[in-house]
Amino acid sequence: MEQDLRRRIAALEDVEAIRTLKARYLFCCDRKDVDGMRGCFVDGAAHIDYGAIGRFDNADALAAVFRELGCHEHMVEMHHGVNPQIRVLGDTAAAGTWGLHYFLIDTQAQRCTQLAGYYEDEYRKEGGAWKISATRFVVSSTLVLDLSESLARCAFAGRALPMAA
């Protein structure tokens, strides 16, 4: 019974560490903290599929694109991860699904984008710390508002943002 209790407590601690990891990832994205965001991923090979943003085989490649596309003062972002469903699969492996509510105000393009979707993540424990080893983001809805005129105008509403919008 004592062994079972230790295993259950360890699983709860692992789930909480993964929740904290994902919260740190989202916070670093909002703060435009490239190194902090990069630190949420495993070193070496990783599978990262962010759809229209790109597919990457390591976190360094993702960090480079993040720096190039997202790290600008005119890009005001908010990432909210919701409804986590985390499964500990062993001492060093876990998987999870997270909802995302994303909001962007692009003051240069004078647009607002609201995006919803979900992450499918895999995690690996390395050196006692959980890291993201694989992730895929799937868009479920998109709303783009054009703010260039005195009144907001809906530029797009639907599942996936068309490349031209």
- Domain definitions of the chain by residue range: 2-158
Sign of the torsion angle spanned by Cα atoms 40, 142, 65, 31: negative
pLDDT at 136 over 60: yes
Cα pseudo-dihedral 105, 108, 111, 115, rounded to 10: -50
Please state, rounded to an integer, the average pLDDT across all residues of the chain.
93
Tokens 């229209």 sit on residue: 52
pLDDT band for position 162 (cuts 50, 70, 90): low
**Fold adopted by 2-158:** Nuclear Transport Factor 2; Chain: A, (3.10.450)
Residue among 119, 52, 60, 56 nearest 84 (CA): 119
Interval 16-35 mean pLDDT: 98
The whole-number pLDDT of residue 126 equals 94
